[in-house]
Structure 1
Amino acid sequence: MDARFLYPLESCKIIHLLRHGQALHNVEAEKDRNALLSPHLFDAPLTDHGHQQVEKLRERVVSSGLLKRVELVVTSPLLRTMQTAVGVFGNEDKQPNMTSSPTILALEVARDRNGVRPPDMRRNVSEYQTLFPNIDFSQIESEEDNLWRPDVRESEEEILARGLEFMKWLWKRPEKEVAVVSHGIVLQHMLYVFANDCEESIRHELCKRFANCEIRTVVIVDKGLV
């Protein structure tokens, strides 16, 4: 065993990064990228295959004991991510004898790249609250989506800044094991925040593109505490 570092547990957090299951706009974009501009794909939902992916991951999460260990689930407030978050980590009567499931918290900073593409625009919070009564929307300040702009696409630099903002917010949370349900490009940029601390080969593997419903686990360390 090539053990290079030892860190006290209190200086570490375990983060499970999960991209949403296959959604309708993913399928349509494979046929024609211009489909991503279609208003018919507004806040695209999971496909039937996406729901199947979620079910399979749910089985893995339960059998591995991960569901019992995760203390908080942070989700992007878009339909496809919340369907994934609830399907994988929620109770939703799938296990009537399960007395508790982790809090699921919707957070704007975890949402997909903003602007131009209708699949990345969210619905009003009140509509989501009806669809997902077990998700906590208290951290979302605006009822309507005031972040999505029809004529300006968010830059990668802005997404990276969001990733840094999110990781700072997450570090201040008391929970030690957290799941984050978000979108491929956003998850990659969350990982880029720490990429320079890794060897090149590890960085490449860690920050590669996420597949639909792929979960990737990392440990982050506050070196100021060690």
Structure 2
Amino acid sequence: MLPSRSAAVLLIVVVAMRATRTIAFSVGRRGTTTSSIGKPTPSKKEICETTITGDGSAQVLCTVTEESLWSDVAIQAAKQFTITQRQKLKDLGALDIKRPIQITGEVLSEECGLGDCVFVAGDADDETSPKTTTNGDDSSTDTKIIHFQRHGQGYHNLICDMWREAGKPIDFDSSDPNLNPVVRPEFLDPPLTALGKQQCSSQRSLCSMLSPELVIVSPMLRCIETARLSFRDHLKTVPWVSHEGCREELGLLVGNKRRSISDIQADFPDIDFSPIDHDEDVLWDEYGDRRETLLEKSERIYDFLTNYVRNRPEQEIAIVCHSAYLFTLLNAVMDIEEKELRNWFLTSEVRSLKMTFSERE
């Protein structure tokens, strides 16, 4: 009996996942172009047509078109998530929580969009430079420059985009793989797709102009692969560390379950995994068949920022993580006025901001 269309599509995706789970990376600058402000430009595609002229000779006419690295479906999904997830956070009261430490964020570029909402160290001035000030009551205000990046397209993103293109709704709260493809065991810690790697490589020139003193990555494979492609020029110059505090929401979705740290570390021995306490993924297992709630996730993010990021000695840091995580961070944990800065990230997108920690009175 022939497999169903959806089963055949899943089989193709899973086979491709296994074929692309590699250990070593060797990506050059070929194919990466940037504008004067460092914004990645779409890839180029040459289309040639041959016509026969009146005298019988052949004439070849070629035109160069731009191909976006982000599909209309992916862009539309990001716009929709911005609306629906912000409403969910509002309904839960997550947008109005006042925590002991206030974390504010300010955009560091006049323009904010895919790949150009970034901050280059050479542009620093007294107002944007990281610093620590002490008030008369011995409380301190700490400021850091943070470069956030979402991972490139993973195979779980691909299958979800394929469902959307087919007009098939996805119920991310369902444990039924016929309603929610990301609960399938085949999607355990999915790697980047070929397109995902291309997206991340397109950000390399941009990231090479940044000056992080530390790169923090989620322990998920797609984030590590993303960081090694986009921040490749910083691999040997600054420390790299992995932390559970910046991984995607826990529970139910197998695409958010990691492999054992011993396995990951064998593939990436140059990354420091010492902040992670457990070899197996006990955090994900604790939630079982339910998803981590938005409020639970916001508390985990707050703890990561105030107890880890704030206390790091580095003043400029790159953090490579996940879309739902970043959306919760920018909307429910930090106080940010610029609405564009709080929108859903596209895959591989980079945004820089000035992050300030201050004790509430």
TM-score bracket, shorter-length normalisation: 0.7 to 0.9
Q: CA deviation at 1:6?
A: 4.8
Aligned to 2:327: 188
- Superposed, 1:142-153 pairs within 5 Å as 142-149=278-285, 150-153=288-291
Residue of structure 2 aligned with 1:79, choices 221, 233, 250: 221
Closer, same or farther in 2 for the Cα pair 1:130/1:188, shift >3 Å? same
Higher strand share: 2
Ranked by relative contact order (alpha carbons within 8 Å, sequence separation 6 or more), the top structure is 1
Residue of structure 1 aligned with 2:355, choices 196, 207, 220: 220
- 2:144 and 2:334 mapped to 1: Cα distance? 13
The worse-fitting range, judged by mean Cα deviation, of 208-217 and 50-59 is: 50-59
Higher helix share: 1
Aligned to 2:201: 55
Give, as a single letter, the amino acid of the residue that structure 2 aligns with 1:134. Answer: D
Q: Deviations over 1:49-94 (max 9, x none)?
A: 01111111112222xx21xx11011111001011111222245xxx
Q: Residues 149 and 319 of structure 2 are in contact (CA less than 8 Å); yes or no, is this contact kept in structure 1?
A: yes
Residue of structure 2 aligned with 1:205, choices 321, 340, 357: 340
Closer, same or farther in 2 for the Cα pair 1:117/1:53, shift >3 Å? same
Q: Deviations over 1:74-124 (max 9, x none)?
A: 111001011111222245xxxxxx893221111001111111111100001
- 1:141 and 1:185 mapped to 2: Cα distance? 24
- 2:244 and 2:161 mapped to 1: Cα distance? 27
SS state at 1:136 partner: coil
Identity of aligned residues (%): 35
Query: Scaled by the length of structure 2, what TM-score is found?
Result: 0.54
Aligned to 2:149: 18
Runs of 4+ in 1 over 6 A off after TM superposition: none
Closer, same or farther in 2 for the Cα pair 1:6/1:73, shift >3 Å? closer
Aligned to 1:89: 231
Aligned to 1:129: 265
Aligned-residue Cα RMSD (Å) equals: 1.9
Residue of structure 2 aligned with 1:155, choices 278, 293, 315: 293
Number of aligned residues: 205
Q: Residues 89 and 101 of structure 1 are in contact (CA less than 8 Å); yes or no, is this contact kept in structure 2?
A: no
Residue of structure 1 aligned with 2:240, choices 104, 117, 122: 104
Whose radius of gyration is greater, 1 or 2?
A: 2
Aligned to 1:40: 186
- 1:145 and 1:61 mapped to 2: Cα distance? 30
Give, as a single letter, the amino acid of the residue that structure 1 aligns with 2:268. Answer: F
- 1:133 and 1:55 mapped to 2: Cα distance? 22
Residue of structure 1 aligned with 2:162, choices 31, 47, 66: 31
- 2:252 and 2:302 mapped to 1: Cα distance? 23
Closer, same or farther in 2 for the Cα pair 1:211/1:176, shift >3 Å? same
Any stretches of 5+ residues in structure 1 without a counterpart?
92-97
Query: Scaled by the length of structure 1, what TM-score is found?
Result: 0.84
Q: Deviations over 1:25-61 (max 9, x none)?
A: 0010123332111111111110000111111111222
Q: CA deviation at 1:7?
A: 7.3
Q: Residues 219 and 244 of structure 2 are in contact (CA less than 8 Å); yes or no, is this contact kept in structure 1?
A: yes
- 1:6 and 1:86 mapped to 2: Cα distance? 31
- 2:225 and 2:318 mapped to 1: Cα distance? 14
SS state at 2:202 partner: helix
Aligned to 1:94: none
Q: Residues 204 and 232 of structure 2 are in contact (CA less than 8 Å); yes or no, is this contact kept in structure 1?
A: no
Aligned to 1:179: 318
Q: Deviations over 1:173-213 (max 9, x none)?
A: 11000000000011122223222xx43xx1x2121100000
